[in-house]
Amino acid sequence: MKKTQSNFIPNKMRVKKIIGLSPAVKSLILEFTDKNVGKKFCFKPGQFLMVSNLGYGESVLTITSTKSELPDLEIAVRSVGNNTQSLHRLKVGDPIWITGPYGNYFDFDKMAGREIVIIAGGIGLAPLRSLIKTIEKNPKIVGQLKVLVGAKTPLDLIYKADLAKWQSFSDIYLSCNKADSKWNGHIGKVTDLLDKVDIGYDAIAVLCGPPVMFEPAIKKLKKLGIGDDKIYLMLERKMQCGKGKCQHCTCGDKYVCIDGPTFTWSEIKNNWEVFK
């Protein structure tokens, strides 16, 4: 796994565009203020940044755009804490500071020719958008793509326009915990969709969402005959550095910031604190 290096000093960027995704989630498109820094910046789908509005703290946010959009970067921000709330108040042209990219990334060699099943709960779709968009650019790098998305209500569903577009090269399945009669997707949990969708035993499943989603999803995927090394989980933890130092993101013998955020189930199934 590649180790990225960085210092505590963030790079300055500017907000280029703001898109509302749901009442609580905004997408920010960022551009580098120093073109030379922007030219050198590279990342792969699955990697994350530490994003900050100086004075308000730092947040771990996965890059939601792809390589082809560089030197611009896109992130999705849910307004929850001090920093994310202040990021929501930013206007186009305002400065924003990042360090990174951090963490590991998706290995397309392992995904080549295979059926990929993405299972995303709530804001969990954001970290996987970069992966889906990379496949969109070149659908042949994987066998086929199925995207299972869950949200609390239809209003909370993010990337609606993208989801409509992605239907051209993938199968999209939606579910909501609560919905009115206008909703034509599934009503219930996103993991319910695993019973309805036809998934081969040789597929690779990629999960991202609230911790409660993992256990039932893994159970169902294993029933389908999918091997532990083909179930990928993106974990969330508190982080203060991104360098494997601060100890906040440890999960048993792993650091989510440098060994993850994406793990295969075989890597962590014996870990004593995965589902704490």
Partner 1 sequence: MSLAIHKKDLADLFRDLSGKWPVYGPTENKEAVTSRFRFAKLSSFKNFAFNYGHTVLPPKQFFLPPEEVLFRFGDNKISPPEETEIILFGLNRKDGEGIFYLDKIMSEPIIDEKYQIRRQNIKIIIIDSLPPSNSLNCDLYLQRVDKDHYLAFPYSPFGEEIAQNPYFGHEGDVGTISTRHAADEVIYHPRLDKIVENSYNHPIWDKLADTCFNCGICSYVCPLCYCFKVEDQIDITKNVENDCQGCRNRSWDSCMLPDFAKVTFHNFRPELKDRIYNWYYHKFVRMPREYGIPGCIDCGRCITYCPANINYRDVLKELIKDEKNTK
Partner 2 sequence: MKSKKPTKNEKNINSQRLKVAIFDLTDCEGCELVLINLREKLALLNEQTDIANWRFAFDNHNLGPFDVSFIEGSPTAEKDIEITKQARAVSKYVVTLGSCAELGGIQATLNNNEWEEGIKEVYGNSYKTKNKAPKPVSYYIDVDYHLPGCPINQNELAQLITSIISEKKPTEYRSPVCLECKARENTCLFLEGEPCLGPITKGGCEAVCPSRGLRCWGCFGPLSGGNHKALKRNFEKQFGKDKTKELLKTFFSQTNEFKELYPKEK
Give contact residues for partner 1 (rule: CB under 8 A): 3-10, 12, 52-58, 80-81, 86, 89-90, 94-95, 97, 210-211, 236-238, 240-241, 243-248, 250-253, 258, 272-273, 276
d(CA 181, CA 183): 5
- How far is the CA of 255 from the CAs of 2, 57, 120, 165, 213, in angstroms? 14, 21, 22, 35, 21
Given the complex with partner 1, which of 138 and 247 has the nearer CB atom? Answer: 247
56 binds partner 2 (CB under 8 A): yes
138 binds, among partner 1, partner 2, none (CB under 5 to 8 A by kind): none
d(CA 16, CA 95): 10
Given the complex with partner 1, which of 133 and 243 has the nearer CB atom? Answer: 243
41 binds partner 2 (CB under 8 A): no
* Chosen residue from 22, 59, 66, 86 binding partner 2 by CB under 8 A: 86
d(CA 63, CA 40): 16
52 binds partner 2 (CB under 8 A): no
d(CA 59, CA 51): 5
State the Cα angle at 67 between 199 and 190, rounded to 5°.
Answer: 30
CB atoms within 10 A of CB 36: 9
Task: Give one word for 273, left, alpha or beta, with left for phi > 0 and alpha for psi -120 to 50.
Answer: alpha
137 binds partner 2 (CB under 8 A): no
Task: Report, in Å, the least distance between residue 82 CB and partner 2.
Answer: 5
Task: Report, in Å, the least distance between residue 56 CB and partner 2.
Answer: 6
Residues in the chain: 276
85 binds, among partner 1, partner 2, none (CB under 5 to 8 A by kind): partner 2
139 binds, among partner 1, partner 2, none (CB under 5 to 8 A by kind): none
Pairing assessment for the beta strands 250-251 and 254-255 based on DSSP bridges: antiparallel
* Chosen residue from 8, 34, 42, 82 binding partner 2 by CB under 8 A: 82
Q: Which residues bind partner 2 (CB under 8 A)?
A: 55-56, 81-82, 85-86, 89
